[in-house]
Amino acid sequence: MTDYEAIIGLETHIQLNTQTKIFCACKADSWYDPPNTNICPVCTGLPGVLPVLNRAAVEKAALLALAMHAEINEVSYFDRKNYFYPDLPKGYQISQYDRPLASGGYMEVPMPATPERPAYVRRVNIIKLHIEEDAGKTKNVNGRRWIDFNRCGVPLVEMVTGPDLRSADEAAQYLIRLRQLLRWLGISEADMEKGHLRCDANVSIRPKGATYFNPKTEIKNVNSIENVRDAIQHEIERQIREVEAGHAIEAWTLEWDEDAGVLRKMRSKETEADYRYFKEPDLLPLRIDAAWKAAILAQRVELPLERRQRFIEAYGLPEYDAEILTGERALSDYFEQAVQAYGGDPKKVSNYLMNDILRMLNESGKSAAELRLTPAYLAEILKLADAGTINTSTAKALLQRVEESGRSPREIVEAEGLAKVSDAEAIRAVCHEVITENPNEVATYRKGKVTLIAWFVGQVMKKMRGKADPTLARQILEELLKGE
């Protein structure tokens, strides 16, 4: 049997999170707003209106281009893409065609190791990156078309990869990394369920080692990364079945039915539509001069994969920790600030983050930047524990207390007397109490069940609200239990 490889290219549409739309002053994000409430003469295509470019959209798109190692073109142009559709109010979409914002570029997608193969990196070329306006939404209800123009004019970046991905998993990883990057750069909410990130996939197969391309199919309307993976996997398997059965692959457009987990044919791809592109006469050429470019470059930040590598090298973190800590920009910033404030072993900080703080974030839905338990407070807790002022369980309890109250850890320790009690007499008195109150357990211990000592220590800690030095308590208890 022939061994096949899949050839996959992804076309993504990324909704930029600007305050206002790309060509007018209407609010861009309408997710929570009723239909046709964020509209004006410009975005509904009234006679006589003109577009005025939102510079913030250009800057956000340029940041993405830089992160893709693409070249920002000093001059680019907007073009009209002409077609009729009810939710396209001007009858053309303002897009970019042959002179787009950026050229070239690539993204490196690390593929984690699996039991079958080691980890590797897939380089994906970006063959198209341009700015355009979104269209509205059409809903068919009982044979009537309802049109919502709220989304008209929301800024989008269209980004298309080369046919460089080789499996459904690679496609999914590309989207995971892209989503991480978009959020990291703060240019898109990148939520596929809300349409901030939309993906169409072009899929074909060929015998492994071949260098030609076979006809491809296009999968549309997939609204989660999981579904992209599933849909592509199904399509690869279908194409292999077809080819094995001696059938040709036709250039269909397919739609993923999420509920049924199947692909449905939307249409056969006829000849390419002619959009009669021409330069948009209502907008000037988009010039990114040296000063503007410098201002954009100044907004550039360290990218997640770069930071991940630096965490491994500079802080000696295991790859696993570095990966998780750089999953989100706020979390990685938190980590780094805490490490600096603490000055001790970064791995210790990582442990607190990976275990306690991440749980806290998951439960509260907050981002790391929103915690009242600031990196400085976390560092203070770590220092208090290192100095022996508090024990580990107090330290862990303090995390929650600081987050709830917003007070500094030291303040809480002092105000509530949480400092570790190392006074042997005080502990001895409590140990006496515990022994007197629990004659049955004492008998069992003395019959030889010495592991019960942990239970006795626990009782002492409980009575002393966790403040006792547990090592000292154990010594005293053993002495008292043995002594009679």
Partner 1 sequence: MELCDLSAHELSLLLRQRRVSAVEVLESCLQRISQVDGRPGSLEPGAPQPEDAERVHAFITLTAERARAQAETVDRRLAAGEPVGLLAGIPFTVKDIFCVKGTPSTAGSRILANFVAPYTATPVARLEAAGALMLGKVNLDEFTYGSSNESSAFRPTPRNPWKLDRVPGGSSGGSTASVAAGEAPLSLGTDTAGSIRQPAAFCGVVGVKPTYGRVSRYGLIAFGSSLDCPGPIARNVVDAALMLQVIAGPDPHDSTAANLPVPDYLAALEEGVRGLRIGLSPDYFRITFPDAVRGEYDQQPIPGEIEAAVRRAADILADLGAEIVENVPMPNTRYGIPAYFVISRVEAASNLHRYDGVKYGYRTPQPVQDLHEMYRKTRNEGFGLQPKLRILMGMYVSAAQYSAQYYQRALRVRTLIRRDFEQAFDPQGKYRLHALLTPTTPTTAFPVGAVYGDSVLMQYADQLTVPANHAGIPGISIPAGLDHEGLPIGIQFLGPDFSEALLLRIARAFERATEEASWRRARPEVLQRLVA
* Contacting residues toward partner 1, per CB under 8 A: 41, 44-53, 80, 82, 84, 86, 89-92, 145, 147, 274, 276, 278, 281-284
Residue 220 CB, nearest approach to partner 1 (Å): 20
The one-letter amino acid code at 305 reads L
Residue 58 CB, nearest approach to partner 1 (Å): 13
Residue 79 CB, nearest approach to partner 1 (Å): 11
- What is the rounded CA–CA span in Å between residue 227 and residue 224? 5
- What is the rounded CA–CA span in Å between residue 197 and residue 179? 8
In the chain the first and final C-alpha atoms are separated, in Å, by 81
Residues 6 or more apart from 38 whose CB is under 8 A from it? 21, 26, 27, 28, 30, 150
Residue 76 CB, nearest approach to partner 1 (Å): 15
Cβ-contact 215, 239 below 8 angstroms:
no
φ/ψ bin of 195: left (φ > 0), alpha (ψ from -120 to 50), beta (otherwise):
left
User: For residues 50 and 314, which CB has a smaller minimum distance to partner 1 in the complex?
Assistant: 50
Cβ-contact 104, 222 below 8 angstroms:
no
φ, ψ for residue 117 (rounded to 5)? -155, 160
User: For residues 51 and 375, which CB has a smaller minimum distance to partner 1 in the complex?
Assistant: 51
User: For residues 137 and 401, which CB has a smaller minimum distance to partner 1 in the complex?
Assistant: 137
Q: Half-sphere exposure of 30 toward its Cβ, with a 13 Å CA cutoff?
A: 23
Residues 6 or more apart from 8 whose CB is under 8 A from it? 163, 164, 165, 166, 167, 168, 170, 171, 201, 202, 203, 232
Cβ-contact 199, 192 below 8 angstroms:
yes
User: For residues 97 and 342, which CB has a smaller minimum distance to partner 1 in the complex?
Assistant: 97
Residue 45 CB, nearest approach to partner 1 (Å): 5
User: For residues 193 and 274, which CB has a smaller minimum distance to partner 1 in the complex?
Assistant: 274
Residue 137 CB, nearest approach to partner 1 (Å): 14
User: For residues 100 and 136, which CB has a smaller minimum distance to partner 1 in the complex?
Assistant: 136
Nearest to 196 by CA among 184, 187, 205: 187
Residue 126 CB, nearest approach to partner 1 (Å): 25
User: For residues 47 and 365, which CB has a smaller minimum distance to partner 1 in the complex?
Assistant: 47
Cβ-contact 148, 84 below 8 angstroms:
no
> How remote is the C-alpha of 100 from its chain's centroid?
27
User: For residues 90 and 183, which CB has a smaller minimum distance to partner 1 in the complex?
Assistant: 90
Residue 198 CB, nearest approach to partner 1 (Å): 23
- What is the rounded CA–CA span in Å between residue 228 and residue 437? 64
φ, ψ for residue 436 (rounded to 5)? -65, -35
